[in-house]
């Protein structure tokens, strides 16, 4: 098996899965709404994650392998239990809403990340710490809206802030 197509395990009762290294692609929402799924080990050959791959699942943590360069639209959207994500140094892009509404508490964005989409961390109520990549030049619309950020350091590379970047960040005390 090299591919798991769209919705293959959606809303299943999976609790844990180890993907063999033969898997290179995960389709859209393949593990979406898997309310019991707490643990997954991704294939080291995986090159792409479809939109909403894990959206609404109960993953607690995940390590993204070096073979992945982009986290697409809504991949971890509404993963309320997701507290920890380890991003590899090969990730260049976090797509729109990739972590929106997740349970992330903190995240370090490696300097390989050059592009952040809109609403990436929107409504991440538990998120209080973000270390931004020194390669990012723009913070897009609503990227942190409604998050639990308390403070953030904007790197010198930032030249543009989109609208509503820190909208309803009621805990935000310093930039």
Dump pLDDT digits (tens) for 1-13.
Answer: 999 999 999 999 9
CA 95 to chain centre: 8
What's the pLDDT score for residue 153? 94
Average pLDDT over residues 127-152: 96
User: Per the confidence metrics, is the pTM higher than 0.85?
Assistant: yes
CA angle 127, 175, 172 (to 5 degrees): 45
18 is written with which tokens? 């180890």
- Give me the chain's average pLDDT, please: 97
**pLDDT band for position 61 (50/70/90)?**
very high
What's the pLDDT score for residue 38? 96
Average pLDDT over residues 58-70: 97
Share of the chain above pLDDT 70, in %: 100
What's the pLDDT score for residue 23? 97
Phi, psi of 153 (to 5 degrees): -105, 120
Average pLDDT over residues 58-75: 97
Closest CA to 137 of 120, 118, 152, 154: 154
Q: What is the DSSP letter of 78?
A: T
Average pLDDT over residues 156-168: 97
Using one digit for the tens of pLDDT, what is the confidence trace for 79-123?
999 999 999 999 999 999 999 999 999 999 999 999 999 999 999
What's the pLDDT score for residue 95? 97
Average pLDDT over residues 7-24: 97
Alpha-carbon separation of residue 81 from 10, 30, 60, 70, 73 (angstroms): 17, 18, 5, 22, 19
What's the pLDDT score for residue 98? 98
């Amino acid at each position: 098996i090299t591919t798991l197509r769209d919705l293959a395990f959606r809303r299943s009762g999976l609790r844990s899965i180890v993907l063999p290294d033969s898997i290179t692609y995960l389709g859209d929402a393949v593990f979406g709404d898997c309310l019991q799924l707490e643990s997954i080990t991704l294939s080291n050959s995986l090159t792409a994650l479809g939109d909403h791959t894990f959206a609404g699942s109960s993953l607690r943590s995940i390590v993204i392998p070096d073979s992945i360069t982009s986290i697409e639209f809504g991949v971890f959207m509404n993963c309320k239990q997701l507290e920890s994500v380890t991003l590899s140094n090969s990730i260049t892009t976090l797509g729109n809403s990739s972590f929106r509404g997740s349970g992330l508490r903190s995240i370090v964005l490696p300097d390989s990340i050059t592009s952040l989409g809109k609403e990436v961390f929107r409504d991440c109520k538990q998120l209080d710490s973000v270390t931004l990549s020194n390669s990012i030049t723009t913070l897009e619309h609503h990227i942190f809206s409604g998050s639990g950020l308390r403070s953030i350091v904007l790197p010198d590379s930032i030249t543009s802030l989109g609208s509503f970047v820190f909208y309803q960040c009621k805990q935000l005390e310093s930039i």
